[in-house]
Structure 1
Amino acid sequence: MLSIKRRALPLVPAYSITTHKSQGQTLNKVVIDLKLPKDTDDIAAVYVPLSRVKRLTDLIILRHFDYKVLLIKPSKSQVAEMQRLDKLHIETQMRFSGWF
């Protein structure tokens, strides 16, 4: 009688993308590593991945991180871009009010 046993890791197919590639997308599930390299002052490295899901339950933070990364202040150009996008959002809502 021949007996064969096999052991395997329970792997799930998945993929990854960079923070910059994820901009503008809504994702079903996000796993993020908020442990950033020292001297990182790019607020997009934190905000973008955190804002890709609609529900908090769809977000997993991979490991412990320094809370200070959530306190990164945006640069002047980032603030200007956020203001431009806010204005565009309001104009779009007004122009297409029947859609909202």
Structure 2
Amino acid sequence: MLSIKRRALPLVPAYSITTHKNQGQTLNKVVIDLKLPKGTDDIAAVYVPLSRVKRLTDLIILRHFDYKVLLIKPSKSQVAEMERLDKLFVESHMRFSEWF
């Protein structure tokens, strides 16, 4: 008599994308690693993934991280871009008010 045993890993299909790729998307579930490489000061690396889910229960933080990563201030160029986009929004709203 031949006996065969089979073992399998409990794998769950998943999808992964970069922080920059998921900007503007709303996702059902997010797993994020907030442990950033040394020298990284890109606020988008923290803000974007944290803001992609509608409910806190749909967010999982992969491992322990330094809470200071949540205190990262935007760079001058990021602030300038936000100001540019705000100005563009106001101008668009005034020009195309019937669409808003």
**TM-score calculated relative to the size of structure 2:** 0.81
**TM-score calculated relative to the size of structure 1:** 0.81
CA offsets 1:17-75 (integer angstroms, 9 cap, x no match): 00010111111100000000111111001001101111110000000000110010001
Structure 1 residue ranges (4+ consecutive) displaced by more than 4 angstroms after TM superposition:
84-100
Residue 53 to residue 90, structure 1, CA distance change in 2 (3 Å): farther
Residue 9 to residue 99, structure 1, CA distance change in 2 (3 Å): farther
Structure 1, unmatched stretches of 5+, are: none
Identity %: 92
Whole-Å separation in 2 of the counterparts to 1:54 and 1:92 = 27
Structure 2, unmatched stretches of 5+, are: none
- The residue matched to 2:31 in structure 1 has which SS? strand
Whole-Å separation in 2 of the counterparts to 1:77 and 1:83 = 10
Provide the alpha-carbon RMSD of the alignment.
2.4
Whole-Å separation in 2 of the counterparts to 1:37 and 1:6 = 39
Residue 30 to residue 91, structure 1, CA distance change in 2 (3 Å): farther
Residue 30 to residue 80, structure 1, CA distance change in 2 (3 Å): same
